[in-house]
Structure 1
Amino acid sequence: MSENHSSHLLFEQMKSFASLARTLNLSQTVRDLESTRQTVRRHIAQLEAAKGEDLFRIEDRRYYLTDAGERSLREAEELIARGEAWLNGASGHINGLFHLTAQHVQGFTYYLQQHPLSMMWNSRSPLLPFGLQSWAAARGKIEDAAFEQIRPYLMIFRRLANDWICVEVGDKSSFATWYGWRWERSSVGRGIADLPGGSGFANLLSQPFHDTRINEGLRLDHIHTRLKAADSDDLIPISYERLLMGCFFPDGSRAIAALINRTHEISIDGLSDEVARSMPANLVMDNPTFG
């Protein structure tokens, strides 16, 4: 297969692979993609040849993912999601920083603008600046005493296989105060894709986490979306600034600590001030006091 031919077909090959990996049923994949059995089989064979490893094994006419297929699935899904978002004009970069707009996808809207870390000093809330100071004092060590005051406001994630699993939800965190104690407790052990509001954007939502893991540093995003609250099935506007911090557990394994401040003071290219401020005023987080 020539390089040009491979590049031209790569996107379709990945879509065939991801669909078959999810269904493990060739007939269902053909229906989902509105394709043919021959085309899907050819795409899989071409992708396996290009990667030099089998992605599936077939036993009694049934498909099973190989270890290589398991490892490849999440990355393929992320590439597809980012490619489709780019083709639709939904994602890109502004001044070198990531920007995402996803509208009316599975009932949700999602706007994200990455910002330079210096922008958090303009925040009216001391939450994120204190979080950064705590992270620096603790040198990213989750169990360090310097993290004690900020920890109730954090959600902490651990990398497991190809997903980020929630291992702790602080009782003062934005997540806990938005969804309530039932979701706070039941969300421990869930991946990003399984958290409320996350399934529709799972692959795009995980990208900032992967970026933070790679550089083991910090990332600041402003986000506006619509989510269900604990006591309502209606989608409610929510605006917030989020600081992701690359951290370490005592055993040296990596963690991501997410610190979120619900606020009207966000800046996202293409998002009007009216929409940014559409979150009900009573949902804006109170300014905490730190000793």
Structure 2
Amino acid sequence: MIRSFVTLAATLNLSHAVKDLGSTRQTVRRHISHLEASMGEPLFQVEDRRYQLSPLGKAVLPSAKDILARGVLWLNGQSRSVGQLQQLHASADDWDFYQQQQPLGLIWNDSSVLLRETFRAWSMASGEIESPLFAHVRPYLIIYRQSDVGWICVEFGQKSVYVNWFGQDYARSSIGRPISKMPAGEEFSHLIYEAFDEVQAAQMVRLDHVFTRMPRSDSEGLAPVAYQRLMLSGFFPDRSSAVMSLVVPVHDVKIAGLDLSKVEGLDPVEMIDIPLSEARFESMLRDA
């Protein structure tokens, strides 16, 4: 029933929804009727056979997509909880993607000064991207803005791993583009990108360890990479929402169940860190 609702909401055309679902008009109508009866209000407004989401339909659609995505990935064995934190994984042809959320306490035990410095700068700047307190770590970040087509990249820091990985020209050409969809299906992509919405909605920070295979600009095929990603909510000067992402390559990626043979031969991405002389908050604490 939920899939019928989500599909009809996407197409707003009963015939198209029936075709996408491989179902019948009667079945889709029955599913929608059952949902509306349970909720006590219509999910759609229909005029001259044209469907439009009702106020209730618009309100419940995001949670319906989330339930559907989580259910599909759970059934496929692609999503589980590890210590109450989310883990996702998928494979397609020669591509792999593993993501495991980490407790934020790992930041303080990590060898990366940049990871700790970015977290402290974000806190001191109250999430304000243009704050002088944030300026020294900003060159290492990728910054995203929310738009009608989802989260789009608006800035690649000159010292970010993305620039190191793909090169300045490629990074510059990616500005303004929505985040690419994963090759593992719509439901998997939904949960990956949902992290952006959650970070901004809760105005919080999230730490993940990721193992995947990515193309290099100077070679063919996919190379294995492992990194930790710190996502931070933020605001532009006009108070519009932003999400900032710090990616730090690692060799000891912490992902339960990851086949260690996959980690062998990690691409030698240049490790990045901020010089201690530039880490104003780290230096201040060490001198205290």
Asked if the contact 2:248–2:272 (Cα under 8 Å) also holds between the matched residues in 1, the reply is no
Partner of 2:68: 80
Partner of 2:160: 173
TM-fit CA distance, 1:15: 0.8
* In structure 2, C-alpha distance between the alignment counterparts of 1:162 and 1:48, rounded to whole Å: 28
* In structure 1, C-alpha distance between the alignment counterparts of 2:169 and 2:251, rounded to whole Å: 26
Say which SS state the counterpart of residue 77 (structure 2) adopts.
coil
Partner of 2:96: 109
Question: Which one is further off, 22-31 or 92-101?
Answer: 22-31
| 1:119 equivalent among 106, 124, 129 | 106
| 1:27 equivalent among 11, 15, 33 | 15
**Aligned positions of 1:253-272 closer than 5 A:** 253-272=240-259
* In structure 2, C-alpha distance between the alignment counterparts of 1:31 and 1:76, rounded to whole Å: 20
- Cα deviation, 1:115-155, whole Å, max 9, x if unaligned, reads 11221334333221221122122122111111112111112
| 1:289 equivalent among 254, 275, 285 | 275
Question: Which one is further off, 36-45 or 54-63?
Answer: 54-63
Change (3 A) 1:222 1:52: same
Asked if the contact 1:178–1:229 (Cα under 8 Å) also holds between the matched residues in 2, the reply is yes
Asked if the contact 1:213–1:254 (Cα under 8 Å) also holds between the matched residues in 2, the reply is yes
Change (3 A) 1:19 1:186: farther
Partner of 1:223: 210
TM-score by length of 2: 0.81
Change (3 A) 1:53 1:39: same
TM-fit CA distance, 1:68: 5.2
Paired residue type of 1:230: S
**Aligned positions of 1:182-197 closer than 5 A:** 182-192=169-179, 194=180
Asked if the contact 2:182–2:189 (Cα under 8 Å) also holds between the matched residues in 1, the reply is no
Partner of 1:142: 129
TM-fit CA distance, 1:39: 0.7
Equivalent pairs counted in the alignment come to: 276
Paired residue type of 1:224: F
TM-fit CA distance, 1:66: 5.2
- Cα deviation, 1:37-86, whole Å, max 9, x if unaligned, reads 21112212333444455444445545455565455444322221111112
Partner of 1:240: 227
- Cα deviation, 1:210-248, whole Å, max 9, x if unaligned, reads 332243222111011223333456233221101111222
TM-fit CA distance, 1:258: 0.9
Change (3 A) 1:47 1:236: farther
- Cα deviation, 1:151-209, whole Å, max 9, x if unaligned, reads 111122233468333332223222333333344234333333x3676975321112322
Partner of 1:279: 266
Task: Give unpaired runs (5+ residues) of structure 2.
Answer: 279-288
Percent of paired sites with the same residue: 42
Partner of 1:99: 87
Say which SS state the counterpart of residue 117 (structure 1) adopts.
coil
Say which SS state the counterpart of residue 105 (structure 2) adopts.
helix
Asked if the contact 2:181–2:189 (Cα under 8 Å) also holds between the matched residues in 1, the reply is no
TM-score by length of 1: 0.80
* In structure 1, C-alpha distance between the alignment counterparts of 2:183 and 2:261, rounded to whole Å: 22
Say which SS state the counterpart of residue 33 (structure 2) adopts.
helix
Give the CA RMSD over aligned residues.
2.9
